[in-house]
Chain A
Amino acid sequence: AQSVTQLDSHVSVSEGTPVLLRCNYSSSYSPSLFWYVQHPNKGLQLLLKYTSAATLVKGINGFEAEFKKSETSFHLTKPSAHMSDAAEYFCVVSGGSNYKLTFGKGTLLTVNP
């Protein structure tokens, strides 16, 4: 069994300030973890993925996430928010079956000018 908890349904930041989107996971297997972003009326786009290599994963658009097994966390960060980062972000886990992705409920990121 696997599950994902995104700790904040909505995060609001000012442009140029850091972003932190929190995610905790549960998995019976050694997990693969992903962050996807969904802009309004657009498809899901992969930001980054962790698949048991380096624990600090760098993604597109300046985002990165750190896999912490002891804390079962995979938080997403960015040093400086841009207006174009405003979107819904999903933390995702896959486990032993590999193909079946389990999504969190999403965190809506608002970026204020």
Chain B
Amino acid sequence: GAGVSQTPSNKVTEKGKYVELRCDPISGHTALYWYRQSLGQGPEFLIYFQGTGAADDSGLPNDRFFAVRPEGSVSTLKIQRTERGDSAVYLCASSPGRNSGNTIYFGEGSWLTVV
């Protein structure tokens, strides 16, 4: 497809389990972002990749959260020892580069529920 693709669209997991969320950006986009949207809130920045490297991970809430982008395309957000407070929609986005004039395109999100 032409847009940002995220899988799974929905995930229910038990507290304490490990979760992986996948993002496939728009082809050719070098910049990739992860955001988290809690119920009733706007999305909040988690991490930004330029190519393969995490240029800014200052939004990751704690060391249970980790993200990789080994080949500069697909990215995986990994959450260890999930907690009920991790329940949210995790949004992935991509753009051609980091220029402020570039439009950032969002995927439809992965809805994570921790029970």
Whether A51 pairs with B42 at a CB distance below 8 angstroms is no
Given contacts A44-B106, A51-B101, contact A100 B4 (CB under 8 A): no
Task: Give chain B interface residues in 62-115, CB to chain A under 8 Å.
Answer: 91, 93, 95, 98-101, 103-109
Task: Specify the main secondary structure of chain A where it touches its partner.
Answer: strand
Q: A43-B107, A43-B109, A46-B103 are in contact. Are A103 and B4 (CB under 8 A)?
A: no
A74-113 Cβ-contact flags toward B at 8 Å (1 or 0): 0000000000000000101010011111111110000000
The answer on a CB contact under 8 Å between B100 and A94 is yes
A44 and B43 in contact, given A98-B99, A101-B104 (Cβ under 8 angstroms): yes
Bound form: Cα–Cα A98–B46 in Å: 15
Question: Which residues of A lie under 8 Å from residue B55 when comparing CB positions?
Answer: 99
Are A32 and B106 in contact, CB atoms less than 8 angstroms apart? Answer: no
The CA-CA distance from A32 to B104 in the complex, in Å, is 12
B103 to chain A, nearest CB (A): 6
A51 to B104, CA, bound (A): 13
With a 10 A CB-CB cut-off, give which of A41, A43, A92, A99 has the most chain B CB atoms. A99
A-B CB contact pairs (8 Å), 5 listed: A49-B103, A51-B100, A100-B48, A100-B56, A105-B41
